Structures are given as structure tokens and as C-alpha cells.
Structure 1
């Protein structure tokens, strides 16, 4: 294989997103890990980095073939089951089974607790003995780096003898690898030279291209099943090729069981003090999961920046022209839903963030909000600084501005990266190390 061979079909077909009917969302709780993911139809969809409003992939799924008579696309052709094995944790187990009961994939998905890497441990189970030794498995990844499927550049790369992929657009680099290493790899342009089209043609991987630049690209890697039928895929991120590859290889070098244990422990330490067991029929399991889902929608850099949803509405029919979607902050809605879930500290954070964004001033807006989340004003003389805008006004005028805050901000929305910078130190404290 020539790693410099260039795929044909540039720039590929017009890119699309994927379904917004999600079965799960996840992220590590610690602020040092700045990756989020979504799930639907039994597969990973968008992977976000470095902010909660910046998707970098369309989807990550498997193709399964016997090389002779069929090629199953995981998303469309298999039966899906989503499990939540650990209470109060965004840890998922996905089981995707052949409709005729011949084989199935069991996947566990986490984010590295202290690194920007998504990890997916997978086990292939073969029930039909006639397929043992014949089934071949391929991982197919569709990059949409920095919110678009256009102008992505993909190539084969290696670090320390490891067989990896690299995808780059602007200031974001993405690295894709497997432990054990992929047996074969290729990159191509979607609709022309991508791995899906290659396999669906004759159930075999015929193309092994090394580069596909500036287009709508896709990556495909054949899983090495020669020794074991369990493996771990990883997608790592950074702001240059070296950092993305290094983060990925470091995460893959740690046993998946250790990564999973730390990931679950971080989330379980965030459990609300409210005991829901007496008010629910499931012991509060669904309520605890819902609280975790709410917490997962907060950005790791901008405190209080909770996006409306980690999804792209009607994404499977939309191109890249709608850059906002649900990846925006509506502070009014965020405060309401976090208050209903008993997450009082989040209501305070949301309100502080909205104050700083709508009325930026030299003053510290945190002084305008007490620990109960109520809008207040410091006791002072009749002439004082407005706690929102910093202008010198009379006390009555300042109090009036505060009490009408909700009306003034109704309907306003922001990208998390547009908000006032506040490091999320509390996540690091709660999540431990």
C-alpha cells in the first residue's frame, strides 16, 4: 500500500448530518476531558471537541461482511439495544444483533477521564459456526471537523510504529486508531472512493488510498481478528497532529477496564443530595440519569454555558448551512430545567453566565447573585454602580434593572464560546483524579 496514493472523486458528495433521535449522550465529568458524544441507532454519532457546540464527526459504525454474500451496515441492518449498566452514570452498553441471529456486536463507550479521547470497547460474538473464521469487520468513520463535512483532509499516519488515521481542518486535528492495530486502512471521498462504497460493491476491501484532501471524506479500517475478537477503538483530539495522536495512544495504552472504572466513579460522585427513591417506581434511577444528562450539556471552559441539546434537528436532511441548531445557550430554559431537577448550583451558574453575556461590564457579575441564586444588590449609598452594566446610577434604578432581568434576556441565545470565560474548577474538585 502506498500511503501517498490519492483517492479519486474529490470533493465528494454534499455532506449531511445524522438523526437527532438520540438514545444517549456522554462525556467525562472532569474538565480536563473536553469531548462529548451522542448515540442513536446503535452507533456513535457526533463527537464534540473542544466545546459543547463544536461537532467533529457525523457517525462511527461497523460494517460486517462474510466476503461473499452480504455486507451488513450496523446502523441500518442490525437490531439495536441500549443499556445503562451503572446508576447515576453516562456509561452505555450497546448490543447490535444480526436479524437472523448469526452474530452480534457488544460495545461499551466512555470518554477518557482526563484526556480528550473517546473510547469504544467492542466484542464480536459469532453464533453461526459456519461464519467463524469468515466474518470480517470494518470500522467506518465520517469526519465533520469543526462543524462541517466540507474541506476536511484525511490521511494515513503512524506514531511509534502504530497504524493511525489523521483528519485535519483549521485548528483541530483528529486521530483515529485501534488496539490491536488495524489490519488495513483507507481514506476516500464520500460517494466515490469511500470504504462503504468499496465494500458494498463486492463485499471486499479493494481500495487502500493514503490521502483524501479538502473534501467530504471517510475513513475505513479493517479490524484484526486473527488473535482475539475483542478490541478498543479510539478517537483522539488536539490542536495539532502530534497532540491528537499522543492523547489517543496514551488512552489506548491504559486498560479499558481502568478507564471505565474512573469514568463511572467521576459521575457517581456527582449524585444529587435529593433522595428520589420514595417518589419514583424505579428507585430514582431515571431521575439520576436525567440529572447526568443535564450536567453533560455544560461546556468545560465556559461555566454555566449549557447548550439546549447535543443534537442537530433533522440532521439527516440538513447540510452545513445551519451552524446553530440546538448548540446554543438559552439561559432562561436552562435555569428552569436545572431548577426542576434540584440542581441549584447550576441555576446560579446559568444566571451568572447570562448576566455576563447580555450586559458585559467591568464589574464582576458574580457579586450580583447570592448563593441561593437570587438576584440581589450590595448595600450602598444612593449613588452606586449598576451591578449589571457598571454605570453609575441611583440604587432604585439598579434594582429595577435586576428585577427585570428575565424579561430582558427572554429569547436570547449564544454559542458557549461567545460567553464570558470562567474556568470550570468545580468539576475538577468533584471528579477527583
Structure 2
């Protein structure tokens, strides 16, 4: 049973953020799902008056009373530093679009390492952070989580490695398990029952395969064959060999699961056609890793299915980001935006319970730029995903993302 006080606080978040979203468009709205039939009226937000806090060091965004840490790999170099810049920009954009947010972001550098994550969290906690957003990478999350757990500070991290999730350490990222569950469930609803799969022989592949086996069994399907391949740089020799090894089984399947992105699926499709395999009765299935311009424009992939978040929110967000910073953001930039907006909304409307685990794990969940999501008690998340079909010139929605965890619609 959900505590009534928690439900009322959660619903106040929904009401307030729905009002915010009306002025910002779809990408600006972050609401709490559910709260059906609530008559909330005007309930003012409460605030916790801080005591004597250490003066923040380093970069600070916003001037509110409630301090929230944002841990990013700013000095890690290469693509990691680029991600840090994008996430910081997205966080600034979120505060700019949230009127009178009573939040002060303490931006700390993790250097992309375990020790860096721990040091960044220690510093933020010493400066009065009540919630930690980030780190981005699993090793940083591991380090920061140790400090956050000891201090009783909740953390909403951006890593997609589910192994670093735990009670009080929540992952906002897109987890491969959600992708697999959605695409297998949709395939089963379309009477696909017999599966083969080509799965990378790495840690990602291990997670995907475990969920794939579980979900195919749960939906009453059967797995005819699985081949695991290794990629060494751009060398696809083993992928081609394992694809050829699969051909003998394909007469018994009606769905071929290829979770990896990066051009893997087109190589598989071309190899199978070159081997004379008739793919007319076999539906190729992917994951969110397929969500790229290259996949959407590839004629070999026409008719294939993959899961992903609702595109409309990201398109609106991307336009505002480009207007502010001069270039379009990468797809995962929404994580920082939604994390900051969630924090600001809870500060405004959930009062003293704002970052309580019972608020953060409310089963009704939240609606952000990328649609419906909720945190589970073990730190992992569930997302409401759409299913798309590749057309050769883009992707069309064939099953919309749910907007409510209660009904699934």
C-alpha cells in the first residue's frame, strides 16, 4: 500500500510540473504519472531551511537554497569530457526552463574514475548536497555510491550498467533490459514465436541474452539458436562466420534478434542475403542501439523493428538545445535535463519528503522528455518505450509508448 502522505506529495509534483510543461512545450514537461482523481487545490511547496553549509567550491549553477550535486567526468578527456559538457549544458537548460527553481547545482568533476567519483561525492556532501545526480560512467557511480550510502544521500546516476544500481542508487539511463522486454513482448503480440539471435560476446551481450531468454520463455516462445560473436575494431570476420553458422536454423524461425548497433545488423542482413536466405518471413528485431540516422536510412533494414523512447519530446528538446548552444545534442543529453527537472520539481512540491526513497520510487513514476519512467527499489528503472519500424528514410511508430504504468497505455 502506498503511504497517503507520499501519494499527496507525489501528486503535487504532477500538478505543478504539468503547469510548467504547459508553458514549455512537450520537452519541458516532467510530470508524475497517475494521481487519478486527485483534488489537490493550491498546495504550497515546503522548503527545508539549511543550516550553516560550507561555501561551494568549483562551478555552481542556480541560486536556490537546496543543493544538488551534478557529478560529471569533466577532466576525463576525449568523448567523456564532451559528454560532461553536454550534460552540464542540459542541466543549465533545465534550470533556465524551470521558473524560480529553488535549486543550486554543485558541479563536481569525477575524472571518470572510481576514486574521482568518491572524491566528488565527498566534496558535494560536505557542501550540503541533499541529492546527487550522476556520475555518468559505472566506475564513477561505484565510487560515489559508497560515499552517498554512508551519508544517507540518494543518487540518481546516468550509467547504463545495471550492476551498479542498488537501494538508494537509482539509474535514470536507458537499460538494455527494458529494450529487450519491450521488443520481445511486442513481437509476441504479433504472433512471432520462434527466435534466433546474434549476440555480442561481451558484458552487454550477457545482460541482453539473460533477459532475452527470460522474456521469450515468459511470452511462450522458443529459442531455436543463439550465436555469440566477437568484434575486434572494425573486423567483422567472426560476425560473418557466426551469421553463416546460423543459416541452417533460420528455416525454423520467424524473428531474428540482433541487439547491437554500430552497423552490425546491416552486415548480418547482407551476409544472409548473400547466402541465399529468404528473409521474407523473418522479422529482424533490435534495441535502442539501432536509433541512428545510419540505420534509419539503410535499405537493407526496411521493415525491421526496434524499441525506443517517444521521439517527439527529444525533437523539441533538441531544437531548444541547438538554439542555446549552437549544435544539436546527442540522444542521451535528456538524462541530465530530466534529472535536474525531477530534482527541482520535488523540491518545489514534495516538501520535506522531497528526496525520500518512497517518493523517488513511487510506482506511478514520472513523465520526462523521453516519456514514462519509474525507479525500482533495487535502483534499476522501467521505461515506457515505443516500437518503431525502419522505412529506409526514417522510422515510423507502430506501437506507441505507454503514458501510464497502471493501464500500460
Structure with a larger share of its residues in helix: 2
Shorter-normalised TM-score: what interval?
Answer: under 0.3
Provide TM-score, normalisation by structure 1.
0.24
Which has the bigger relative contact order, CA under 8 A and spacing at least 6? Answer: 2
Q: Which protein is richer in strand relative to its size?
A: 1
TM-score when normalising by structure 2: 0.25
